[in-house]
Amino acid sequence: MMKDSIFLIFCILLPALNCQKKDRSKAKRLRFPSIVLVDSIATGESAANGETPFLGSLTSKHTCSEEQRKSKFRSADGSCNNLEHPAWGQAGASYLRMISDHYDDDESVPRQTSELGSLLPSARTVSQEVFNSESHPSARLTQMAMQWGQFLDHDLASTPAEIGIKWHFMHLREDCFPIYIEEGDSYFTSDCMGFARSQRYEGHTTYGKRQQFNTITSFIDGSMVYGSSEEEMLMLRAGEDGLMSTTDVPGGESFLPNDSSPGACKNQDDVGIFCFLAGDARVNVIPGLQAMHTLFVRFHNRIATELKTISEVKNLFKMTESASNNDEFLYQTARKIVAAVIQRITYKDYIPSVFGREFVHQFKLDQPYEYKPSVNPQIINEFTTAAFRYGHSLITDSMKLNGKDVPLHELYFNTVPVLKNFSQVITNLIEGRSENSDKYFSKEMTDKLFLTSKGSLDIVSLNIQRGRDHGLPSFAEYRKICKLPPVKRFEDFGDCGRALRNVYKSPMDVDLYAGAICEKPHGGNEVGPTFACIIGTQLYTLKNGDRFFYTTLNHNLGFTAKQLQFINKITLSSLFCEFGEIGEVQSNVFFPSNRINRVRKCNNFAVPWTRDLFEF
């Protein structure tokens, strides 16, 4: 984190970047070195369009060993999930693309030019002029909708930014892509906002253009809890009885391990306060995310403990030669169950609640699982760079703690609420309303994101700029590939049309994120049709391209019927009751409580621990 901060300062201060307001109208497009990337066209499958060639899939010469082919458990890094294409979905794989990139030089330079030849508007200008800062609480979703989305996102994708420490100073400049701030901005007084380009994907390729890559596994496999490499997993394990490492605090509760690295969070020098260490480095960003990580580590350890006490398993242990073998079996089995529960919550609760039944049916997510080796489960660039960032609109201004509304900017990288008021953090998630998914964003996100004495950022500006950095084509191009009516006039953008006209020269210039956020959701969906197309396609490939998906009928890879009965009974409500230090909760935590979704005592949601679960 400290290296990242230093790099952002360089990006902000370097005068050679033409970052002065007065130079904006005459600014030349930044030129970046062309690169060669690693990919060829591979086959994926879209629930919307049938067989679809995705751009950017890694072709690997790696082969899987006989042990890997027969293993009941996933590999740490996601390799050999697909035995025909061992690198598909592996940590370090490049992102796929639904549409060929749009770089200004057709190789690497970010998209900065209008189809009419002038510069595109600054991402901050688009944020200021198009996306208002007003509160519009959702009538149908709790804050848990946003929080599970973020937790899930951190299981799927992590894009590394260029870090200046390893670069020669002159090379450092090439990967700064600052966001210009116009004079008279409503909040910022500086000339630009620091922005580091995503790292380029190096290697042998037939594609020949700049591509980005994923540092974690693509699968819904709990990698945010466990990590995406053997080294990360070992660092987070207790080393005995299959347990994850935890830190016990006065009162007997267990929390995540202590991350003592400088700058990992705020207040880490205060007595009794520490930063958290998890399978994903972003764990400390906000209290709700910290709470979810804590919840699932507690869940893992409870499974491992229950597993150890079953007499049949003890008899099995008599046949092993070492405690390390027992530890490995307990750990991998608990990890397998946790990943299955995360998948079940995602596909059975989160997706229908947030995106609606019509969406589920349209993208075939309600059909029985059928593993398809031709389906590439790697993360789609448009999904992680734009579509799944829809959730930023759901974020609220504050969290209620000890009867007071604490503004979000005071909670970034702050672990005190979780350590001191864990149950209140959970209560905020299940009782508080999210904001509507629309063109309105909290000022805590557009003006005060990661606020420190050195400044802050704007999430909408960052999202738009990241799309340009990745060479994502305009919104209009995605309407075409999703077989939606074309946008030809600014009037086609509905309520956003007038504001978009004020900043863009042509409707064909509108960025994917900006255009899709302006779309009206329908059919019980929180996103419009373009983001629905991208998200639905991704969720389809993540299910049917995963050999270990929890409902597989291959019992060597999946579960018995009795085990599935147990897994299907576990909901977020039952987990919050078991590990969230609360006494009551509604049945579906993604929806506010009402006469149908009523609040009940936690004894109604008890996790049904049974011997059947552990018959492996």
Binding-site residue positions for heme b: 392
Which H/E stretch holds residue 139? strand 137-142
Burial tier of 524 (Cβ tally within 10 Å: 0-12, 13-18, 19+): middle
d(CA 25, CA 182): 11
User: Could you tell me if 267 and 287 are in contact, meaning their C-beta atoms sit under 8 angstroms apart?
Assistant: no
| Count of alpha carbons within 13 angstroms of residue 357, beta-carbon side | 0
The three-state secondary structure class of 318 is coil
Torsion angle in degrees (nearest 10) through CA of 486, 488, 490, 493 = -10
The gap between the terminal CA atoms of the chain, to the nearest Å, is 42
d(CA 282, CA 151): 10
- Could you give the maximum distance between any two Cα atoms of the chain, in Å? 77
Angle at 363 between CA 552 and CA 220, to 5 degrees: 45
Cβ partners under 8 Å of residue 258, min gap 6:
247, 274, 275, 276, 277
Phi/psi of residue 484, nearest 5 degrees = -105, 155
Which of 85, 102, 136, 154 is catalytic? The answer is: 154
Of 86, 152, 495, which Cα lies nearest the Cα of 293? 152
Binding residues are 392
- Is 154 a catalytic site residue? yes
Q: Which sign does the torsion angle of CA 202, 206, 211, 214 carry?
A: negative
User: Could you tell me if 91 and 216 are in contact, meaning their C-beta atoms sit under 8 angstroms apart?
Assistant: yes
d(CA 588, CA 142): 10
| Residues acting as catalytic residues | 154
